[in-house]
Amino acid sequence: MIDTEVLFALSPTDRKHEKALKALKIKGLKIPDTVLLEFQVVLRSRGVLVGSCCEGS
């Protein structure tokens, strides 16, 4: 089971990026819906609209 911190560490500029990538390779990894909700709320509080972070890719 992962926490919101792992999702934020997926940013290539995060110092824990490599560890986050390794964590995602764990078989049976679970990401609770509450983690995704918290991630979305934090992004919104930072002014990032849901969906806008991936536009243009």
| pTM score over 0.95 | no
Report pLDDT digits (tens) over 27-53.
Answer: 888 889 999 999 999 989 999 876 655
Q: How far is CA 26 from CA 19, 20, 22, 29, 43, in A?
A: 11, 10, 7, 6, 25
Confidence of residue 57 (pLDDT cuts 50, 70, 90): very low
Q: Cα separation of 47 and 23, whole Å?
A: 27
